Amino acid sequence: MNSRNQFEARFPVPEGVAWNPETSRYVLVHLKRATVSIYEAHVERWAVWQAACDAMQKELHPFRPAQDLPTIGHTGCVICGQFTDHGGLQCPKLRAYSFCETREVHQ
């Protein structure tokens, strides 16, 4: 389901308004069935919907940020206990395991 189909499922197209595939926008096709204010309100909702979709696409991150990992506390590194920040890098004693490896070790 594309963005326009999702939009139309949430906000049904008013009678008298139609999607024009040539211009990729909504058009007022019957003035007696839809007033100009109804048409403009629907077009404005569509513009806000598109802006929200664009904003969400920019906020998606494919990887977990490294800043969530513990590196240093008030008295030093929370992993090795040394009073250092390891030059802003992760502690060299921090070992990364995949989920499968940790499951096998603990079973």
User: Is there a single domain that holds both residue 54 and residue 89?
Assistant: no
Q: Which of 20, 37, 59 is the last residue of a domain?
A: 59
Per-residue pLDDT of the chain (107 residues; tens, 9 = 90+): 688 999 999 999 999 999 999 999 999 998 888 888 999 999 999 999 998 888 877 766 555 555 555 554 455 676 676 767 677 777 777 765 444 444 444 44
Number of domains the chain is built from: 2
Domain residue limits at 30: 3-59
Q: Phi, psi (5° rounding) for residue 17?
A: -115, 140
Is 33 in contact with 15 (CB distance < 8 Å)?
A: yes
**End-to-end CA, the chain:** 43
User: Is there a single domain that holds both residue 95 and residue 69?
Assistant: yes
User: Is there a single domain that holds both residue 55 and residue 68?
Assistant: no
User: Is there a single domain that holds both residue 8 and residue 55?
Assistant: yes
Q: Tell me the chain's radius of gyration from C-alpha atoms.
A: 27
Q: Phi, psi (5° rounding) for residue 73?
A: -110, -165
